[in-house]
Amino acid sequence: MEHDISHIKDIGDIMNIFFNSRIYTNQSFINTLYGQQRKTTRSQDAGCSGTRDTLTISASGKEKLVKNTNGRTHNTNVDKSIDLKSYIASAQKTNQKIIDNAGTQINAKTSEYMSTGKAFRGALTEKYSKLAAEAKTHSNPENYIHAKYFDKSSDYYETNLTDTERRIAYNYEIQMWRTGKINGVNYQDSLFRGIEVDGDSVDSDKIQFERALVNSQISNILKQAGVDTSSITKDCTFTVDPYSYEITVDGVDEETKMRMQNALNVGDNGKNLYKHIYYCSTQDGCESTQITKESKMKYEAYHQVYSYTGYELDKLEEKNGTYYTESGEDILDLVNHAVEDTGKVPKEYKQQMKNWIHDLVSTMSVKGWNNVSDMTLSILYGKGGLKDMKQLISYQCDADNRKRAWYSVT
């Protein structure tokens, strides 16, 4: 039986636990490029439901907000030389190549998603590489960089930047000159004039990319096992056990069921499918009925105890607010020793870790293991690949429509 033994890896994980942070945080994405109104589609008919952004690049939009002043406008002239469309196209090509070469193991995180942020960091790097190259032609590059942004009497002073753009450009150009690279992506740079960034929105393209990747992996696994997926005329259900991560298939004939289960229950497939379903069930607005606070607590209690002691909590004797092994050892004593001995928890957080696991175990013992629902997760599977169930938002992606662009560039 396969178990998850890697829940807590670093300080960040521990602090997330104690401050009750979400396991998965929402990522920012771009709503509008260059003055165009936000265009969103719910493309369920095309194979994907869930909001995604259509990104539009227009030549006229790049002129927006530019001041009509006389003087040096070198930065914005360099902006015009940067082909943002090519960076979007490259991101699209990278993502599609990953899906086309998905392999035969389920893992939504097998390769890193090429987001707009990563693509546009490349564009910023191109811009400031050009500007830093020019700075190097001056006898004192740092004085030149400072003068072009802050000395209005200088012949190099940039006249058509806002105060914010000026500060950002100075910091980026100094970084590039000193280190040969820039840090982060600031969408208030003049290169991105007209872009609106919604920091509170889920990057649904990233989720749909991962869904398409998992769909491709499952399709490859079943093909390799000789399963004719075209014969699955109605959606079947994949259910993953929260403790063993075993996948059970329902809604197909017995022969197909056994063939699918044997093919899917290999390596970490069940664990990774479980994590993918959980991730897609806990996004803002999903309101999944498969996950509750108590079932999540039960899941964590089991896996934390197992990861440190090797004991399965549901097979121990439950009494006095804790659990006991067959030899009469208190499982919390074993946890204490294991946490002290482990190198994966920093010394200053060991007591917090022990306290957290104590709370999980004690709460479960008082409530009673059988009185708390298991966090069993299910998802539909059919011609269109995986389809979320028991939640308000579905990230379904049609397996036959995997060639779609991740970003629409016009």
Asked whether residue 125 is assigned to any structural domain, the reply reads yes
The Cα–Cα gap between 386 and 216 comes to 10
Least confident of 22-26, 132-136, 195-199: 22-26
Amino acid identity, position 379: I
Residue 178 lies in a domain: yes
SS3 label, residue 56: coil
68 assigned to some structural domain: yes
Phi, psi dihedrals of residue 263, rounded to the nearest 5°: -75, -40
Q: Is 112 helix (H, G, I), strand (E, B) or coil?
A: coil
CB 236 within 8 A of CB 381: yes
pLDDT tens-digit map of 248-307: 999 999 999 999 999 999 999 999 999 999 999 999 889 999 999 999 999 999 999 999
- The answer to whether position 365 is within a domain reads no
Return the residue matching tokens 């707009």.
Answer: 116
The predicted model gives 140-167 an average pLDDT of: 96
**How does pLDDT run across 1-51, given as a tens digit for each residue?**
444 434 434 444 433 333 333 223 223 322 323 233 333 333 333 344 444
Q: In which domain, by residue range, is 183 found?
A: 33-82+116-198
Question: CB atoms < 10 A from the CB of 8, how many?
Answer: 23
- Rg over alpha carbons for the chain, rounded to the nearest Å, is 26
* C-beta atoms surrounding 103 within 10 Å: 14
211 lies in some domain: no
Give the integer Cα–Cα distance in Å for 44 and 65.
Answer: 37
How confident is the model at residue 265, as a pLDDT? Answer: 98
Mean pLDDT in the chain?
83
pLDDT of residue 71: 66
Residue 144 lies in a domain: yes
Report the C-alpha gap between 269 and 246 in whole angstroms: 9
Dump pLDDT digits (tens) for 305-351: 999 999 999 999 999 999 999 999 999 999 999 999 999 999 999 99
98 in Cβ contact with 213 (< 8 Å): yes
Structurally, the chain folds into a number of domains equal to 1
Instruction: Give a yes or no: residue 58 inside a domain.
Output: yes
Determine, yes or no, domain membership for 49: yes
